[in-house]
Amino acid sequence: MAESNHLSPGWNLPAGEALLQDVFGIVMEEIVRKGTDASEKVCEWKEPEELKKLLDLELRSHGEKQEQILDRCRTIIQYSVKTCHPRFFNQLFSGLEPHALAGRIITETLNTSQYTYEIAPVFVLMEEEVLKKLRALVGWSSGDGVFCPGGSISNMCALNLARYQRYPDCKQRGLRALPPLAIFTTQESHYSLQKGAAFLGMGTDSIRLVKADERGKMIPEDLEKQINQAEAEGAVPLFVSATSGTTVLGAFDPLEAIANVCQQHGLWLHVDAAWGGSVLLSQTHRHLLDGIERADSVCWNPHKLLATGLQCSALLLRDTSNLMKQCHGAQATYLFQQDKFYDVSLDTGDKVIQCGRRVDCLKLWLMWKAVGGSALEQRVDWAFTLTRQSM
């Protein structure tokens, strides 16, 4: 690190470098080694009041010595949950993938935003390649996509794209210019659809719950029935959200049959494959998602089954008409100038609802390069093997 700093007086840069070295050592010892050791605890549990005292959270006007900061890092790690621990089973993610973590450390240190080629040349091209690969696994040789801040927002964006495709006017004139719209999903689907319907101004009432069978899978005949009923009640059926890998039961909705219904009625088919999308890597198990290539949009979170680390959520589109940029774009002239010295169609900022956007592709790309698609397939197959052994 250079000796002087342009940003601020009194910044001690050699000390900063030493801090980073020391913190990395602590991370390796206390998380990477101990956190993955089955003989250590998953979490040293404390009640909130006691934990507050142990952490001394208050932010003051004076700073602290480096040794004290290092102690704080150790304390933070000590009382945090080790999601990389062999006995951590709380959520739909776990484990520690060293190549993905390496990608994340590079991402954090480079600290750039994904919106234009000029500020993120490597990552704009890399995101494009990673999304192309994920689309190929879905069964699409063309299409569009982007990484979103989590599956909930991916699902919301899919809903917004479906709405815009049917009613482009909505972007400018709003929902008041539209007929009431109907969304279809099962009780087993993720609650982000409820949140999305509310956030997008459609209201949770616009969601019609389709029956699921005893294994949690959508019943296509009931979808047909619900669509007819919505129409009879004066609503316009718009969007079906099928799930590949439901949160609680891990059910895979029958996509072929659902796609038939959507095709017949002209509805947008979204597949929430946040958890189950990674099963597409497995020749043995990918039949669970047969028909996914007929979807209009797919949400797939490699941070779940592929353990790339939070957040890594791809929204994939079959569309080739530039729908994302038309729907989400705001053409901010100070950032997305049209007279740049490179092909501005590379800029991704108008595809998304954010402005600054984190780089979420490198961790997945680096892991894939390091272990290869065939090893990722083995990992997915192994997860299925473990599930069967525990049943």
Helix (H/G/I), strand (E/B), else coil: 9: coil
Q: Which two tokens stand for residue 65?
A: 């010595």
- Residue number with CB closer to its own copies (211 or 346): 346
Residues binding its own copies: what is the number (CB under 8 A)? 155
Distance of CA 40 to the CA centre of its chain: 30
The yes or no reply on residue 236 touching its own copies (CB under 8 A) is no
Helical (H) or strand (E) element with 145: strand 144-148
Residue 152 CB, nearest distance to its own copies (Å)? 5
The residue among 234, 230, 174, 176 whose CA lies nearest residue 207 is 230
Positions in 258-277 near its own copies (CB under 8 A): none
- Residue number with CB closer to its own copies (260 or 383): 383
The yes or no reply on residue 357 touching its own copies (CB under 8 A) is yes
- Residue number with CB closer to its own copies (90 or 264): 90
Distance of alpha carbon 173 from alpha carbon 201, whole angstroms: 13
Among 209, 265, 371, 384, binds its own copies (CB under 8 A): 371
Helix (H/G/I), strand (E/B), else coil: 162: helix
The yes or no reply on residue 328 touching its own copies (CB under 8 A) is yes
Site string for its own copies, 10-39 (x = CB under 8 A): x--x-xxx-xxx-xx--xx--xxx--xxx-
The yes or no reply on residue 235 touching its own copies (CB under 8 A) is no
280 CB-side CA count, 13 A? 26
- Which of the stretches 92-100, 138-146, 209-217, 314-322 binds its own copies when contact is defined by CB under 8 A? 92-100
**Tokens 């047969």 sit at which residue?**
290
Q: Which two tokens stand for residue 157?
A: 């964006």
- Residue number with CB closer to its own copies (224 or 370): 370
Among 41, 166, 265, 379, binds its own copies (CB under 8 A): 379
Positions in 153-172 near its own copies (CB under 8 A): 153, 156, 160, 163, 170-172
Cα–Cα distances in angstroms (integers) from residue 33 to residues 37, 194, 361, in the given order: 6, 40, 26
- Rounded (5°) CA angle 132-138-144: 40
Burial class for 62, CB neighbours closer than 10 Å (0-12, 13-18, 19+):
exposed
Residue 25 CB, nearest distance to its own copies (Å)? 9
Among 228, 264, 283, 355, binds its own copies (CB under 8 A): 355
- Residue number with CB closer to its own copies (33 or 215): 33
Positions in 299-318 near its own copies (CB under 8 A): 303, 307, 309-311
The yes or no reply on residue 149 touching its own copies (CB under 8 A) is yes
- Residue number with CB closer to its own copies (77 or 209): 77
Helical (H) or strand (E) element with 300: strand 297-300
The yes or no reply on residue 356 touching its own copies (CB under 8 A) is yes
The yes or no reply on residue 344 touching its own copies (CB under 8 A) is no
Instruction: Please compute Rg for the chain using Cα positions.
Output: 23
- Residue number with CB closer to its own copies (48 or 266): 48
Q: Give residues with Cβ within 8 angstroms of 345, minimum separation 6.
A: none
- Rounded (5°) CA angle 367-43-95: 15
